[in-house]
């Protein structure tokens, strides 16, 4: 077989190229065109060819090389396209499939009530201050006129951290912290302070060892019990709607004098309602700030007076939504929580 024939024979590889995969193509390329490849080896024999023939053989070899290269290129492109198409096919997304629904959270019912009360008092010019749940004995008790041996401390069975530090039993602890810093030349003191408080109660339908309170405090010249009553009526009207009566009963707290407990009527009341038809529910404690409490925070009780109240938003929510077990608020059971997606007015 002469050289020309041998070179022509290299073209026999073409059908092989046309059905090769990428790996096989690479092998064929080096087998045919590589440094030690078939065509290269054949061309090394060119110097033995007759000088007249050499040009012809050389250009034939180039033609064959170009053709093989072209065939490899065509096949490579076709294979690459195939791979892309395959991937597109595999990764096809059905845009008509229904998507995954994300569950949206919402505010806890107690947070809703708290926000509602905050908004109301902010609209009346009060500031909102948040204290710490870990409080000193001094602010929680002593500055509220409850010295260490005071019997009324038993009313609020306390979780102590050490002898001077405790989980606050009442948001009243914020009263002294705010009073001692207030600058009366800038106007009256009006604040509410919402937050969690803790007591060593046994949990049952109406008791929880943790619950919320919202403290209210107003101090200025000439503040009277009538201001307190008007403020509380405004709160009840706004929260439960018009028509619910409030009743003040004498009570005792060491930090207020006089002290009152406030009941609200469950049912709506008008001039034709008989007293015996009214159902009362106790909702908060309040009173006129005790002169001693004012003095301990550096406020002259001959010049200034004030009222304070402490209400339980848990209680309010229970009345408003007819919830019969306070523990529901703290169990994180979605079947309960999701019933309060929006504030119902
Ligand atoms: N701190 C009192 C309690 O927890 C409530 C209260 C607040 C009473 C303010 C009077 C004035 O029971």
Domain boundaries, the chain: 3-90, 109-340
Exposure class string for 88-120: b at 16+ Cβ within 10 A, else e: eeeeeeeeeeeeeeeeeeeeebbebbbebbeeb
Residue 48, pLDDT score: 82
Residue nearest atom 7 in ligand 1 by C-alpha distance: 310
Check pocket membership of 285 for ligand 1, CB cut-off 6 A: yes
Q: How confident is the model at residue 51 (pLDDT cuts 50, 70, 90)?
A: confident
Q: What are the DSSP E strand ranges found in 129-271?
A: 134-136, 160-162, 165-167, 189-198, 210-220, 246-253, 256-265
3-state secondary structure of 333: coil
Residue nearest to atom 12 of ligand 1 (CA): 285
Per-residue model confidence as pLDDT tens digits over 54-87: 888 888 888 999 999 999 999 999 999 999 999 9
Digit-coded pLDDT (tens) for 110-122? 999 999 999 999 9
Average pLDDT over residues 2-14: 86
Within 10 A of 286 (CB to CB), how many other CB atoms are there?
25
Q: What is the pLDDT of residue 1?
A: 60
Q: State in Å: Cα 310 to ligand 1 middle.
A: 4
Would you state the pLDDT for residue 93?
Answer: 87
Question: Which residue from 191, 219, 253, 292 has its CB within 8 A of the most atoms of ligand 1, so it is best to mutate?
Answer: 253
Helices (H), the chain: 3-10, 13-18, 22-32, 38-44, 51-90, 109-123, 137-140, 173-179, 225-240, 291-296, 313-321, 334-337
What pLDDT, on a 0 to 100 scale, did the predictor assign at position 185?
A: 96
CATH topology of domain 109-340: BirA Bifunctional Protein; domain 2 (3.30.930)
pTM of the complete model beyond 0.75: no
CA distance 323 to 327: 10
Mean pLDDT of 175-179: 98
Instruction: Verify whether ligand 1 is closer than 6 Å to residue 310 (CB atom).
Output: yes
| Model confidence at 343: pLDDT above 70 | no
What is the band of 4 on the pLDDT scale with cuts at 50, 70, 90? confident
Q: Is 47 exposed, middle or buried (0-12, 13-18, 19+ CB in 10 A)?
A: exposed
Q: Does ligand 1 come within 6 angstroms of the Cβ of 308?
A: yes
């Amino acid at each position: 077989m002469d050289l020309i024939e041998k070179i022509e024979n290299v073209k026999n590889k073409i059908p092989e190229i046309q059905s090769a995969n990428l790996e096989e193509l690479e092998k064929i390329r080096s087998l045919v065109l590589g440094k030690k490849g078939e065509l290269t080896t054949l061309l090394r024999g060119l110097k033995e060819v007759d000088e007249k023939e050499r040009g012809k053989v050389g250009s034939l070899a180039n033609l064959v090389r170009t053709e093989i290269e072209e065939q490899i290129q065509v096949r490579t492109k076709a294979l690459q396209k195939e791979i892309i198409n395959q991937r597109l096919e595999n990764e096809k997304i059905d845009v008509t499939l229904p998507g995954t629904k994300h569950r949206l959270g919402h505010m806890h019912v107690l947070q809703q009530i708290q926000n509602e009360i905050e908004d109301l008092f902010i609209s009346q010019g009060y500031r909102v201050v948040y204290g710490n749940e870990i409080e000193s004995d001094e602010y929680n008790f002593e500055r509220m006129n409850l010295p260490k041996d005071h019997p009324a401390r038993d009313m609020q069975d306390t979780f102590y951290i050490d002898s001077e530090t405790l989980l606050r039993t009442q948001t009243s602890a914020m009263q002294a912290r705010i009073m001692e810093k207030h600058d009366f030349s800038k106007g009256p003191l009006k604040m509410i302070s919402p937050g969690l408080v803790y007591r060593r109660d046994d949990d049952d339908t109406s008791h929880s060892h943790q619950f919320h309170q919202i403290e209210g405090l107003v101090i200025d010249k000439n503040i009277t019990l009538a201001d307190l009553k008007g403020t509380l009526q405004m709160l009840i009207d706004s929260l439960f709607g018009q028509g619910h009566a409030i009743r003040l009963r004498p009570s005792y707290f060491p930090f207020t004098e006089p002290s009152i407990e406030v009941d609200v009527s469950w049912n709506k009341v008008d001039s034709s309602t008989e007293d015996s038809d009214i159902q009362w529910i106790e909702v908060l404690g309040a009173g006129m700030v005790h002169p001693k409490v004012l003095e301990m925070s550096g406020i002259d009780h001959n010049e200034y007076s004030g009222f304070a109240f402490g209400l339980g938003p848990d209680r309010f929510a229970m009345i408003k939504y007819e919830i019969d077990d306070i523990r529901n608020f703290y169990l994180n059971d979605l079947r309960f929580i999701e019933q309060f997606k929006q504030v119902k007015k």
